[in-house]
Structure 1
């Protein structure tokens, strides 16, 4: 009899559901993709339904359910912090305690009530601590029998940074840093101070960093955080307000950096660029110290990473190139959405006792763990919308789309199972020709509807990655930033002797300017065709036609919206933006041939009705 384990994360940030069967990852999805509510925190009803439907089982077939954190321990941390924080803590107690006592503490009861729509018999529900969930998501799918595991985020119950030994089917915590001392919250404080949204826009700080200089590095290291040689750290809480207050930073923080936070949506200045560069440099230094110390302590030659900070591809790239470890593997869904997967994996191996079998690639199946739509379902949807389309065989489709891309068109690419986690990896992607200098601003401004300075990422044939990017071995999940090779860069001709801030965006730095950031790096995705052969065939066709083995690959969504899940989502995004072509399965659509688009309020996806 098969043993099914269901993992859940919800009620806090970016809810999701994951299903494991006898140690194999069967399905995983975020609730936001179905509800179209960015980072939806609600019970993942649609994600659970998908997981069960995909496996062809009912909830009654599930042996156990594991939840990605322990709300009772989280409540203890909130109460303890409040009691030791004077007047601000008293205010926190007044406003926060009722919600916890009346609702937030009783997660098992809430989950049981929500799950009753699936079955009258609810499997046993157990809590897995937040950082253990992160550690499990990083280690158990990794291609290593043993590894050091580092988990770095804002905060779980108490932990903010932890180190673990991963061996076989067991995780052992060997070190922790507790709230309020947090690298993730330090980074989020600068996200807030630079005028962006906490827990959503930290990637913008990473993207802004190369536009500035780390002139505030010493101020941060002297005033805000004390870092020991072994990477352990403490923070000066006089400069922060997040422990019990309503803001991330205190007036002392404002004074240290010369004024109040940037007003959201106002013009970015050199100060924001320099602040981003400075906190990015601090983060890199601390993580490298931690990695060196714990590698020396454990002797492990492999490293696994998870937690929201593990999505910082610049840090990851530095780690990979530092030579501290022979291999570094990072959970693609490193943030809280991956908590459901980690909880399920921890439950599977550490509670139920399933024997772990290491996959030499990894066990994530390319991260293609979400829903897929059949040819008939897609065709039925297109006919219902009165779309004009042409169907192609696989070979002809890839050849035709490669030709379309080489002509400078932007293509929405919808194929196979949806990705799990924040990155589009060739299943729900927007594609473009990286050789076109204006492609970055075109996609950012006219399609993604976001800041023009946001970097775009390349998807490159794995066997050619080393010809274009330094130190690339394998990066299937777009989690490492690496320098563009010197031979692919362009000599600076007639450029101003000094450029600062946003002016740096105007310079063409390489043969692939659309994916070359201002520091001549790129967040690389290597494609080998194992889990997404069609995407590999498309890149191969583009390479054959142009001599260039890579394309711009960015997530298929508009700014502020989740990545598309269904043909309806994809078509709506296609029609609302400046995309030129859309590929849905084997069907190719040209924008100019489509019927006039009429926006519908509260429209629902009828593609599976």
Structure 2
């Protein structure tokens, strides 16, 4: 098997990945191209770009693989509707028709719309998650733990990865779900499900876990074998509007935030801290049991829960595991997972297959296209003779610079291809970025990116030589020099960068270091609140002029805002 396209769609975060001749050629979410946040539609734009980048026609593919099994998924939805009737009437009237017309006939859509005659295969949701992590890991043998809201029936699964095999050894089924539990508390605290979970993680350090005993035990039950279950009387998962029962409000004794302008009280912050700690307790309980049973401390994580940086770091500190997480750990990543799984299966190879990985797998834009974009929009621009030195100096002066470089990042975190950069030294920069650039809640933290060789001087390393994907929180060792990126609990969601990983970003930080002595800068995603990260120069210009960003760099082209009142 040489050329495989993997597709995930029709739930949220649609994506496409292309694996060709044992290498990852392309991986991108549809939202980056459609400009529709969390786009769930069939990823026509991303599929076209994948074929373009791979220099392929659709008939040149050996297989198209879909990330889950629609038949099994529909069976679960139908059982849920019948079990919860009549409270599931809205689920029946809205979700069932959508599923029947879009997700169930996905093979027919592919064949009819693309005249594709090759094999279309289907995997399992959690197997696709597992493959995305294991086949990009450095491990020959590992526990592969996948945790999310829900796949078909499964909400958690454990695979034993060994060589080229992934064998499922344990699973937990709906309605018992750590991902859904966290989403319920996300909604309870007034944030959007499938969007605001990271806000709960960011809010948690401002509180104390005083409600932990009300969650672990009565609501979330943990067993000695590592499994977990939920008390279903607290939840209304078939209600499309609200997933918690009034009984949960009475039990917690804290009013939920149902409107954006509802006050965020200390009780709400404590509730966020309690939910975060409950997740960590449940994950540690599971891992301890698995380590005892299988004697393996190399662990791959995937699924939306694996994007919880605080929990990921705690598992390393408390359990001494070695951890690998693929940066698109959520549902978008299943497109790559199912493609890798198909490629391994189709190769017939007995030697261990692992795929060299870089997160820069999306679109890139030519110099000619960039200049044409500027000219057609009458944008004043200039070419920098030393773009790293200029940006480094601007950051040291307190300016905010957005960059577009190379190919889009794969996953939800900005990793220096579509990033907004700033000085990390003063606490006022955090407030400025939240208020004037990102237009978001004041408690939201920002992440540091540090030169890899200085990583251990500024941050706890967790025993890892590098942390390139911003997937763990690390204790800040010099918070007085990194105040804008040190959170309330004195941790930072660190990204390390080496010259070989991203020479463009490395050069900027190194120039900033030469001026300030600090080899760290602030890095946040190049987008405004509620929008996907930018992809093209055109996207970048729109975001640049709609915000307080001072300078835009597209490769070595610079666009600078004119002072007010100037011609």
TM-score, reference length from structure 2: 0.96
Q: Does 1:14 align with 2:19?
A: no
**Shift in CA distance, 170/589, structure 1 to aligned 2, threshold 3 Å:** same
Give distance in 2, aligned partners of 1:244 and 1:355.
Answer: 48
Q: Does 1:375 align with 2:356?
A: no
Give distance in 2, aligned partners of 1:372 and 1:145.
Answer: 33
Once the two structures are superposed, residues 347-380 of structure 1 have per-residue CA deviations (whole angstroms, 9 ceiling, x without a partner) of 1113553566556xx6221x00001112222122
Give the match for residue 274 of structure 2.
278
**Shift in CA distance, 259/464, structure 1 to aligned 2, threshold 3 Å:** closer
**Shift in CA distance, 170/259, structure 1 to aligned 2, threshold 3 Å:** same
Give distance in 2, aligned partners of 1:559 and 1:400.
Answer: 28
Give the match for residue 602 of structure 1.
none
- The answer to whether the 8 A contact 2:2-2:347 is kept is no
Give distance in 2, aligned partners of 1:596 and 1:252.
Answer: 61
Give distance in 2, aligned partners of 1:6 and 1:206.
Answer: 34
Give the match for residue 41 of structure 2.
42
Give the match for residue 559 of structure 1.
529
- The answer to whether the 8 A contact 1:4-1:19 is kept is yes
Q: Choose which of 206, 209, 216 in structure 2 pairs with 1:211.
A: 206
Give the Å deviation of 1:303.
0.9
SS of the aligned residue for 2:259 comes to coil
Q: Does 1:479 align with 2:471?
A: yes
Give distance in 2, aligned partners of 1:108 and 1:174.
Answer: 29
Give the Å deviation of 1:536.
1.1
- The answer to whether the 8 A contact 2:178-2:279 is kept is yes
Give the match for residue 322 of structure 1.
318
Q: After superposition, where does 1:107-506 map in structure 2 within 5 Å?
A: 107-114=106-113, 116=114, 120-243=115-238, 246-266=241-261, 267-325=263-321, 327-351=322-346, 353=348, 363-365=356-358, 367-393=359-385, 396-472=386-462, 473=464, 474-485=466-477, 488-489=478-479
Give the Å deviation of 1:22.
2.1
**Shift in CA distance, 582/337, structure 1 to aligned 2, threshold 3 Å:** same
- In structure 2, runs of 5+ residues without a counterpart are none
**Shift in CA distance, 104/26, structure 1 to aligned 2, threshold 3 Å:** closer
Give the Å deviation of 1:96.
4.5
Give the match for residue 493 of structure 1.
none
- The answer to whether the 8 A contact 1:388-1:594 is kept is no
Give the match for residue 511 of structure 2.
541
Give the Å deviation of 1:260.
4.2
Give the Å deviation of 1:254.
1.1
Give distance in 2, aligned partners of 1:92 and 1:412.
Answer: 42
- The answer to whether the 8 A contact 1:22-1:354 is kept is no
Q: Choose which of 542, 552, 560 in structure 2 pairs with 1:572.
A: 542
Give the Å deviation of 1:302.
1.1
Give distance in 1, aligned partners of 2:35 and 2:239.
Answer: 31
Give the match for residue 499 of structure 1.
none
SS of the aligned residue for 1:386 comes to coil
- The answer to whether the 8 A contact 1:371-1:565 is kept is yes
- The answer to whether the 8 A contact 1:163-1:175 is kept is yes
Give the match for residue 501 of structure 2.
531
Give the Å deviation of 1:593.
6.7
Give the Å deviation of 1:388.
2.1
Give distance in 2, aligned partners of 1:343 and 1:4.
Answer: 13
Poorly superposed stretches of 4+, deviation over 6 Å: 593-597
Q: Mean Cα displacement is larger for which, 60-69 or 298-307?
A: 298-307
Give distance in 1, aligned partners of 2:407 and 2:538.
Answer: 15
Give distance in 1, aligned partners of 2:407 and 2:61.
Answer: 23
Give distance in 1, aligned partners of 2:369 and 2:563.
Answer: 21
Give distance in 1, aligned partners of 2:240 and 2:539.
Answer: 39
- The answer to whether the 8 A contact 1:81-1:244 is kept is no
Once the two structures are superposed, residues 443-496 of structure 1 have per-residue CA deviations (whole angstroms, 9 ceiling, x without a partner) of 1111111111100000001111111111342210000001111xx24xxxxxxx
- The answer to whether the 8 A contact 1:189-1:248 is kept is yes
**Shift in CA distance, 355/511, structure 1 to aligned 2, threshold 3 Å:** same
Give the Å deviation of 1:113.
2.8
Give the Å deviation of 1:201.
0.6
**Shift in CA distance, 98/431, structure 1 to aligned 2, threshold 3 Å:** closer
Give the Å deviation of 1:382.
1.6
- The answer to whether the 8 A contact 1:378-1:585 is kept is no
SS of the aligned residue for 1:87 comes to coil
Q: After superposition, where does 1:66-77 map in structure 2 within 5 Å?
A: 66-77=65-76
TM-score, reference length from structure 1: 0.89
- The answer to whether the 8 A contact 2:62-2:119 is kept is yes
Give the match for residue 57 of structure 2.
58
Give the Å deviation of 1:343.
1.0
Give the match for residue 520 of structure 2.
550
- The answer to whether the 8 A contact 2:179-2:305 is kept is yes
Once the two structures are superposed, residues 95-130 of structure 1 have per-residue CA deviations (whole angstroms, 9 ceiling, x without a partner) of 54444445542221123233x2xxx33321111110
Give distance in 2, aligned partners of 1:410 and 1:246.
Answer: 39
- The answer to whether the 8 A contact 1:28-1:369 is kept is yes
SS of the aligned residue for 1:445 comes to helix
Give the match for residue 495 of structure 1.
none
**Shift in CA distance, 470/84, structure 1 to aligned 2, threshold 3 Å:** same
Give the Å deviation of 1:340.
0.6
Q: Does 1:587 align with 2:554?
A: no
Give the Å deviation of 1:319.
1.6
Give the Å deviation of 1:215.
0.9
Give the match for residue 31 of structure 2.
32
